């Protein structure tokens, strides 16, 4: 008679305890594209948004007041009342991610993100840009220049246009409703010899 003998074996397995997972940073800079400036743009929750989340008014008021009190502990560089945003300086010894964690973990802020330094690295999305042939790469190559600067409103450029017999001989119309709001100043003078009206117009370099 054959007997089936089953041997049981118990294995003691020590559990593997993993270390705390490191969360990825909220924000990462890319050199030459968007970089940290040492400033943060933060906004407390707004009453209307908290109301939509069914937060009682007393609690909402307390959250907003707490957010403003916390922001006041940092150096406020600017307050934008139209959007209720604060531009605050990142304290020494902290990074933008550190400050964002401190603020956002309270639950009292709608957002806290870097006041990025950004760089223009592409051509404008103006659909009529291709028709402006002087911006082409084999001429002014404006797109490459815009990688360095897009202008300065404190610098003016002058454009001279002429009109003969009441008709402009330039593509710049000094009476255009698109041009006049941007005009710094203008002057006109007539040339009696050839009946040409000349205009000198100054625009901000933007």
pLDDT tens sequence across 45-70: 999 999 999 999 999 999 999 999 99
Are 118 and 31 a contacting pair, CB within 8 Å?
Answer: no
Please report whether residue 2 resides in a domain.
no
CATH classification at residue 49: 3.30.70.80
Task: Tell me the mean pLDDT in the region 80-104.
Answer: 96
Q: Are residues 111 and 41 in the same domain?
A: yes
Q: What is the pLDDT of residue 100?
A: 96
Q: Are 46 and 96 in the same domain?
A: yes
Residue 125 domain-assigned (yes or no)? no
Q: Are residues 155 and 87 in the same domain?
A: no
Phi first, then psi: what are they for 187, rounded to 5°?
A: -145, 150
Answer whether residue 11 is part of any domain: no
pLDDT digits (tens, 9 = 90+) for 2-45: 444 333 433 333 333 444 445 778 899 999 888 999 999 999 99
Please indicate, yes or no, whether residues 159 and 113 belong to a single structural domain of this protein.
no
> pLDDT tier at 189 (50, 70, 90 boundaries)?
low
pTM: 0.52
Tens digit of pLDDT for each residue in 103-124? 999 999 999 999 999 876 667 7
Task: Tell me whether residue 183 is in a domain.
Answer: yes
pLDDT at 134: 80
- Alpha-helical (H) ranges within 14-147 are 47-52, 57-71, 96-104, 142-146
pLDDT > 70? residue 180: no
Residue 147 has pLDDT above 90, yes or no: no
The per-residue pLDDT for 8 is 40
Asked if residue 155 and residue 112 are part of one domain, the reply reads no
Which residues, in sequence order, are CB contacts of 192 under 8 Å at separation 6+? none
Q: What total of structural domains would you count in the chain?
A: 2
Q: Answer yes or no: is 93 within a domain.
A: yes
Q: Where in the sequence is the domain holding 99, given as residue range(s)?
A: 34-118
Q: What is the mean pLDDT of the chain?
A: 75
């Amino acid at each position: 008679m054959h007997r089936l003998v089953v041997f049981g074996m118990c294995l003691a397995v020590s559990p593997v305890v993993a270390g705390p997972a490191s969360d990825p940073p909220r924000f990462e800079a890319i050199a030459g594209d968007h970089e940290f400036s040492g400033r943060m743009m933060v906004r407390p929750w707004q009453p209307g948004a908290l109301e939509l989340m069914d937060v009682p008014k007393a609690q909402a008021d307390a959250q907003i007041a707490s957010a403003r009190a916390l922001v006041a502990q940092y150096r406020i560089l600017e307050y934008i009342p139209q959007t209720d945003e604060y531009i605050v300086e990142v304290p020494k010894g902290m990074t933008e991610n550190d400050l964002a964690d401190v603020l956002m973990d309270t639950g009292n802020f709608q957002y806290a993100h870097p006041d990025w330094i950004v760089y223009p690295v592409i051509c404008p999305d103006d659909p009529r840009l291709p028709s402006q042939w002087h911006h082409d790469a084999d001429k002014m190559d404006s797109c490459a220049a815009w990688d360095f600067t897009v202008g300065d409103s404190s610098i003016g450029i002058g454009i001279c246009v002429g009109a003969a017999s009441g008709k402009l001989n330039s593509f710049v119309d000094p009476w255009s409703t698109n041009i006049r709001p941007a005009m710094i100043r203008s002057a006109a003078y007539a040339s009696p010899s050839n009946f040409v009206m000349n205009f000198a117009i100054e625009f901000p370099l933007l």
